Structure 1
Amino acid sequence: MTKATEPQEPRDVAHARAHNIQETSEAMPEPGMTMLQRIRFLIGFLLCGILWYAPFAAVIGILLPQRFLDDGVADPTALVAQLNSIGAFVALFANLLWGTLSDRSRSRFGRRTPFIVVGAVLAGLFLWLTSVVNGALLIILCWCGAQLFLNMLLAPFFAVLSDRIPENNRASMSAIYGLGVTIGQSIGQILSAALLTNVAFGILLASVCLAICGLLTVIVWPKEPSAASLPAAQRGQGVVSVIRAFTPPTKNCRDFYLALFGRLLITISIYMIVNYQLYIFREYIGLDTARASASLSVAAIIIMVASLVASAIAGPLSDFLHRRKPLVIACALIIAFGFLIPAMIPSVWGMYVWAAFHGFGVGVYNACDQALNVDVLPNKEEAGKDLGILNLSNTVGQMIGPVATSIIVIAFGSYRLAFLIGAIVLACSCVFIGLIRKAK
């Protein structure tokens, strides 16, 4: 018997089908990755977390506050708040800008790679300038430049979780990145505490680390595929199309905004305390410069160890259970409990207990938060833009947190109320996270 000939699709239908398959493959991550690729991504996420956060934690948390004391600034607490709030306001728009532009990039080096490399270099340059210029206004302007280009690095960097990482590996990647952030915070805090008498050199060292961050990350990662040949349907179509690309999501986005507000409240509470550790040890606890420096180093080590333990547990556990929400809620409650200790026991040991709970809670948070954000994205093809919007919660939180603490301290003359209010804000964040339906 002669085998029946199958009917052939019309050429235009076949072409459309192939086009759709190609477009889908470009928009979604590969279903799996080799062990070597996984290791390279893990190292890259860890490395980037360390190399961008250590410089920023060192400069905004300790070195610039110490410079303000050395320069005889009348109200250094208020100036730190201004620096954080204005810089975060810049980052508010920068995150969305760079995320959207990287979504639409068609570079032969890939959609994200050029932004990551160039952003790191320019952020490092402006960070260094904060130690060179004189006067509060110029320092703030340079800090704003550093925030602008830091987000040129970070917005595309986070979009890689959606672009190139399969769903069953995202929590592990988020965990290793969060571990890098925690290690970076601790390293930055320890080194900057040791360099309180040489602020200019400390900021220079931090700037160099930040400048090389992007290049080292993309070298370690598997090479990003060229974006020059993406289908025409994903290409930009003029200025109007670019403007439309900045529009926040409006469909299937309930969980997206719940995640945004939950993350915002967590970030606000964290930054109510983190950027004021030097002043808390000196003014709230009553230590001199030498003892405050030593105590900062001990607190940094405690935070790092606690976060290492938490990240090692939470990331793999989240991937294994396919659960994000319970762990994010747990981390908020853990951090909130830690806030109550120095509020009730204003001592060095009270701060060390806070550091332990803070480190463990932030370790869990960093392990699961970015994975949760990717899970609630309304449109994977606009991951850079939408993750940029979600990351606005970080920048707005960095803006509101220090301002809230500054207002509280000026009004009541103590950091105790800042700890208590921070704990309440963390408890409120659990409500938003708990209402999310799309992610488990």
Structure 2
Amino acid sequence: MTASQTEHKKNGPEPPKGAISAHDAIEALANQPITMAQRVRFLAGFLLCGILWYAPFAAAIGILLPQRFLDDGVGNPTALVAQLNSIGAFVALVANLLWGTLSDRSRSRFGRRSPFMIIGAALAGLFLWLTSVVGSPALIILCWCGAQLFLNMLLAPFLAVLSDRVPENNRASMSAAYGLGVTVGQSVGQIVGAQLIHNLGFGILLSGVLLGVTGLLVVVIWPKEPSAQNLPRTNEGFGSLIKAFTPPTKNCRDFYLALFGRLFMVTSMYMIVNYQLYILQQYIGLDATGSAAVLSVTAVIIMVASLIASAVTGPLSDLIQRRKALVIGAAVIIAIGFLIPAFAPSIWAMYAWSGLYGFGYGVYNACDQALNVDVLPSKAEAGKDLGILNLSNTVGQMAGPVATSIIVMAFDSYQLAFLIGAIVLVVSCVFIALIRKAK
């Protein structure tokens, strides 16, 4: 084997050259088989990114910032958490599309995605840390918006790699690895956040540092991204740039079904996840110390259940080439979990919810990203289209807490939030079932 062949095998195949479209060039690159060593490196990168971005955010938005609002004597902390989520999610909604589209059009010698990931993670970590430094709720919200803006500079290009560089028969495994990382990150974030509930400044500083190094670590672990300089360039005019941000209009029926299916599923999950602290204190009746102890246990339960579900479901989905039935099953499992604390508000009911939620969430994460890639209308615009699909995440993260806040303020009832969340999950199943392109 020549030196050039060795370098080719090490760094991954170069994009095909010649008078072909960007779509065809990227399609050919994505369909190139990967070695076992490359597969392991991709798996490790997807896993690590899920852990390192989600743990800081779970700790900050789930525990540390809500507790700070209580410590600061904010008049309506439930509403402020909803504002933080909704405004930040709106910023993320725009940012996801922006960074996905810009990375699609990038022709950097360092690749289309890697520079965005490194810079985005570093700036997101900085703004997350700033939420612990500024004094007023308005400045906290502003810094949170900055963290969301640059977090999506990491995530939109990161998720597009699943389409760019991972063959179809490996996508569910990579999606499962990322899902495992998110699940572990959520649990670790809750555990660490609960332990640092009386040391909020250090907790958010630690979160910012971990998030800040995520992009660089993932780029180093993954096989080197090929230069994008040889890819065919898109038209550079202003009209072409505007068109680049336009949602797909052809061959996109399944694309939009997947978008709305995910939207309803994420909305339902975030009706509960970000309110666990308040549910334990105001619905179950625990104090801050008791809530922290229960949160630590539920975090471990969610993590273990999700690890088991993702580890089994990802390879199974790749083996049988089925996505839809598994995603629908995940929604049903989570919905059942919602019903238990709805009718039995107790600590053990929250433990039961965490087990079912964790297992369903693990199944969902193992297949969801692979399902989204399967319904993409164009490989050349994967970053933009996945950014649009990921809008369902950000809108769901915005709509879920807002819905819960409205329900609690209007009816003083977390029970109703659990019940409506279960209904929304059932609605998501209808959209997923109607998809034709994916099995």
TM-score (norm 1): 0.95
Question: In the aligned structure 1, how far is the partner of 2:272 from the partner of 2:347?
Answer: 15
Q: Are 2:282 and 1:283 aligned?
A: yes
Cα distance in 2, alignment partners of residues 25 and 68 from structure 1: 51
How many residue pairs match? The answer is 423
Deviation at 1:18, TM superposition (A): 4.3
Aligned to 2:393: 394
Q: Which blocks of at least 5 consecutive residues in structure 2 are unaligned?
A: 1-16
Q: Match for residue 6 of structure 1?
A: none
For 1:95 and 1:345, the matched residues in 2 are separated by: 39
Question: What's 1:324 paired with?
Answer: 323
Deviation digits for residues 310-367 of structure 1, max 9, x if unmatched? 0011101100110000000000000000000000110000000000000000000000
Instruction: Measure, in 2, the Cα distance between the counterparts of 1:229 and 1:180.
Output: 33
AA at the equivalent of 2:58: A
Distance in 2, matches of 1:214 and 1:23, equals 26
Helix, strand or coil for the counterpart of 1:381? coil
Shift of 1:414: 1.9
CA shift in 2, pair 1:242/1:22, >3 Å: closer
Give me the whole-angstrom Cα distance separating, in 2, the residues matched to 1:71 and 1:389: 37
Give 1 or 2 for the bigger CA radius of gyration.
Answer: 1
2:52 alignment partner, SS class: helix
Deviations 1:131-190 (A, max 9, x none): 000111100000000000000000000000000000000000000000000000000000
Deviation at 1:130, TM superposition (A): 0.4
Paired amino acid for 2:63: I
**CA deviation map 1:7-63 (0-9, x unaligned):** xxxxxxxxxx94238872334403310000000000000000000000000000000
Q: What is the rounded CA distance, in whole Å, between the counterparts of 1:95 and 1:212 in structure 2?
A: 20
Rounded Cα–Cα distance in structure 1 between residues aligned with 2:236 and 2:411? 55
Which amino acid in the other structure matches residue 255 of structure 1? D
Alignment of 1:357 onto 2:353: no
Q: Extract unaligned runs of 5+ from structure 1.
A: 1-16
Q: Check the 8 A contact 2:31/2:168 in 1, yes or no.
A: no
Are the equivalent residues in 2 in contact too, given 1:31–1:166 (CA < 8 A)?
A: yes
TM-score between both structures, scaled by the size of structure 2: 0.95
1-side partners of 2:303 and 2:279: how far apart? Answer: 19
**Alpha carbons 1:23, 1:230 under 8 Å: kept:** no
Q: Is the 8 A contact 1:327 1:365 kept in 2?
A: yes
Contact 1:331 1:362 in 2 (8 A): yes
Q: Deviations over 1:370-405 (max 9, x none)?
A: 000000001111000000000000000001000000
Please tell me whether residue 307 in structure 1 is matched to residue 312 in structure 2.
no
**Residue 184 of structure 1 aligns to a residue in which SS?**
helix
User: Contact 1:123–1:211 at 8 Å: present in 2 too?
Assistant: yes
Q: How far apart are the structure 1 equivalents of 2:37 and 2:161?
A: 17
- C-alpha distance in 2, partners of 1:357/1:388? 29
Distance 1:18 1:108, change over 3 A: closer
Distance 1:83 1:246 in 2: 26
- The equivalent of 1:249 in structure 2 is 248
3-state SS of the aligned residue for 2:367?
A: helix
State how far apart, in whole Å, the 2-side matches of 1:38 and 1:236 are. Answer: 34
For 1:106, what is the secondary structure of its paired residue? coil
Whole-angstrom distance in 1 between the partners of 2:400 and 2:139: 23
Cα distance change on mapping 1:56 and 1:21 into 2, 3 Å: closer
User: What's the secondary structure of 2:86's corresponding residue?
Assistant: helix
CA deviation vs aligned residue, 1:216-259 (integer Å, no higher than 9, x gap):
0000000000112222xx33412221111000000010000000
Root-mean-square deviation (CA, aligned residues, Å) is 1.3
